[in-house]
Structure 1
Amino acid sequence: MIATNEKLLLDALPQPVISIGSNRHVTYANFAAQEFFGSSLNVLRRQHIVDVLPFGSPVISLVERCLDNSLSFNEYGIDLTPPTQIGGTNNGRMVDLHVTPTEHEEGNRQALIVVQPRSIANHIDRQLTHRGAARSVSAMSAMLAHEIKNPLSGIKGAAQLLEGDAGPDGVELTRLICSETERITGLVDQFEQFTETHADINSPVNVHAVLE
């Protein structure tokens, strides 16, 4: 267990600090860590490390290696969103952290995790990067839709011209070509709805027809 004077020192730190025992359960969390993980010390002490950290978090393996081999680690840009807060307003909590072993009089080794939340500037930069990627995908989708619909229009027009000189069997084939190009064009139109360049078209509808 962490001594009283050590607890006072840890509680005074602005960075979240959490201690994991050899049984992989939380043994201590300072005030900043309790606020970060959104749980009191009594609640955290009843939890296993996998209950505190995100599923599949690389921090879990770092703690294992720290406890088993008495090694220290530094990791940067880790998503440390608690499982209970995923999908909420705190989703995507990027942090830097330091994991180090500590030995106590009882011979019980513990892993001390010191969390350094990323600055607001880092968080904004990450959001802008994601938005830029989304815009790139949207622009590419619009370009692909345009490139697909243009040749489809040409194919349909050519089929309609051939229909006038075609025999009965040829007419059936040209009409099949026209119907298939219209079907693909409809699919592309639906795909365009996911792009930012697509403008919504509002028009009156018969509510009875929609309900039917």
Structure 2
Amino acid sequence: MIKERFQGLELLATAVVVSDFQGTVLFANLAAESLLEVSRRSVDGHSMAALFVEAGQFGEFLAKAAKDPFGIKRQVFELVRPNGSSEHVHVTLSCPDANENITLIELREIEQQLKIDREARMLDQSIANKELIRNLAHEIKNPLGGIRGAAQLLEIELPSPDLKEYTQVIIKESDRLQTLVDRLLAPHRRPHIVALMNIHEVCERVRSVILAEHRKGLRIVRDYDISIPEFMGDLEQLIQAVLNVVRNAAQALSAHIADGTAEIILRTRVVRRVTINRKQHKLALDLQVVDNGPGIPADILERIFFPLVSGREGGSGLGLTLAQTFVQQHEGIIECSSQPGRTIFKITLPIQLEEHSG
């Protein structure tokens, strides 16, 4: 039986359809059912070519694969779902056995591939940034202590109180830089306290803090999926990560808060069969922070998670960097999309129901 033979394809997150050389569907895995947004029963026995705008070209593509079963063929086609929606997909054809009338058709969303590539770049960039920050912070820390100490000794020797005003400037600015350095190093020093936690406890703690800071003019809307299970994580780290993101949104809403129209939405959902940083996960949390502010300037949107990058005057540019660090320490990813009137920070975290042994 074809279905029994290819049952292992059900474990793949990639959409795979098995057809004969004529393109008649023999089997489709769960991921294909999800991509096509239709039940597998409704496509079994039907022509695969009928799913594409370029039906004729797909037929020719399939015929080439049948003539050269040892090669792997790749091409982009526009997929049309039964519900009328369409999407460009990367189609890969291969034949598991040259003597059989069977073709494996792998369908990969182009947007999904772009997302994977983007996540990989972000991860590599984040690792490089953290290494740079760590090295820079250590290089600053040692001479900073020397500058502060020299200023204190100089202050003792100065005869005039008026001159001591200048040494106090040196000492205070050294202390300010020391605080900044400590904040840069803090995420790398802090031990993980991993235990079962609830994401809505995180959201409620953050909501309470932000509403205490902004007692008037700001509305924080809860849009929770209460079915999300508890998962393994560091509660305090995730509270800090989400707090940094929501506080960043509240600061961007200052004008709206003044006129009473500011709104932040905390939305939680479960997503299944998701790829995060090149790893596949059966279950993940999708936490979105949505605000109705002016949006993030286009010139800094791609650099929003870089250290010391801020769109706000007087901002340290560390809040989102630290949020990204804490999220990545949970094997997750944080992304941002923005346009005037709607900015979305999306945190995706794999849901680990119990701590791995070993």
Point out the structure with the larger helix share.
1
TM tier, shorter chain?
Answer: 0.3 to 0.5
Point out the structure with the larger strand share.
2
Larger radius of gyration: 1
Query: RCO (CA 8 Å, sep 6+): is it higher in 1 or 2?
Result: 1
